[in-house]
Amino acid sequence: MAIITKITTQQKNQDRYNVFMDYGKGEEFAFSVDSDVLIKFQLKKGLELDDFSFLEIQYQDDIRKAYHQAIQYLAKRIRSEKEIRDYLTQKEINEPIINEVLHKLAAQKYINDEEYAYAFVRTQVNTTDKGPDLIWLELKEKGIKEGFARQALQDFPYDLQIEKASTLAKKFFEKNTKDSERIVKQKLEAMLLRKGYPFGIIQIAVNESELDKDTDAEMEAIRYQGEKIYRKNHHLDGFEYQQKMKQALYRKGFSMDLIEKFLAEKEES
């Protein structure tokens, strides 16, 4: 067996110690350990260590090092268990050590996926315009159990979902005055779906946002779109010109009555 000949404090890290041993050929550096491991195994000069003890010390020290890495990762913000597991895995830490670290963190209440879910939902509701479906997906990606996710999403009530979706709808409509009402609604529904709002909420938001344009506003929109289409087709004559204009404007979402009115207006100009 080898004998510990000297233990010194590391200069750059006062919580770690260098252990020197004599394996029968004189003193040499053997390993370094955390202060907690040093105390736990009562390491001191003159102590003899067999191979099993050496392996156990190294294993416990690896746990301590991984634990400190996890604590530093947690210092920035709270994390889910999966986030910490993924982080330590990226650091090439073995799974048994990761499991020990996670068990210790949970026992110390540094990680709690149920509390994490509530905090995550509150943060998303208060700081973003995401809908419940997108938040649910993000919780799932972070490894949160379905039961915890459902409970936490109760902090995003139905009326608040409608309020946030309606606000998005109003802003969207105000920025898209150059499109037809039908196209605006289609684009708006697609945007709200991407944001994570369920279809029922989207329908209410669209209706409550008062998207129905008055005749003057819709006429301004068709004039804007119609002029662009006219520049592409003004060289055509008669029936072909009429058909090209009508088809293009109809695809833009304008009614045939409004298209006829615009074409009549162009003929008079």
Residue range of the domain that includes 187: 158-208
* The pLDDT of residue 215: 61
Q: What are phi and psi of 69, to 5 degrees?
A: -65, -40
Give the list of residues 6+ apart from residue 161 with CB closer than 8 angstroms, or none: 131, 132, 197, 198, 201
237/195 same-domain check = no
23/11 same-domain check = yes
Q: Is residue 90 part of a domain?
A: no
* The pLDDT of residue 210: 57
Q: What gap in Å lies between CA 85 and CA 82, rounded to an integer? A: 5
Q: Is residue 93 part of a domain?
A: no
Q: Is residue 96 part of a domain?
A: no
Answer whether 15's CB lies under 8 Å from 60's CB.
Answer: no
pTM exceeds 0.75 for this model: no
Give the list of residues 6+ apart from residue 178 with CB closer than 8 angstroms, or none: 221, 224, 225
186/148 same-domain check = no
Domain count, the chain: 4
Sequential pLDDT tens for the chain (269 residues): 789 999 999 988 888 999 999 988 899 999 999 999 999 999 999 999 988 998 999 999 999 999 999 999 999 999 999 999 999 999 999 999 999 999 999 999 999 999 999 999 999 999 999 999 999 999 999 999 999 999 999 999 998 999 999 999 988 988 887 778 888 889 999 999 999 999 999 988 888 775 555 567 778 888 888 888 888 888 888 878 888 888 888 788 787 778 888 888 888 77
Q: Is residue 108 part of a domain?
A: no
Q: Is the dihedral of CA 191, 195, 199, 200 positive or negative?
A: negative
74/11 same-domain check = yes
Q: Is residue 234 part of a domain?
A: yes
164/151 same-domain check = no
Query: Strands (DSSP E) along 51-98, which ranges?
Result: none
23/38 same-domain check = yes
CATH number at 139 reads 1.10.10.10
Q: What gap in Å lies between CA 160 and CA 129, rounded to an integer? A: 11
Q: Is the dihedral of CA 157, 159, 165, 168 positive or negative?
A: negative
Name which of 183, 266, 179 is nearest 230 in CA terms.
266
Q: Is residue 100 part of a domain?
A: no
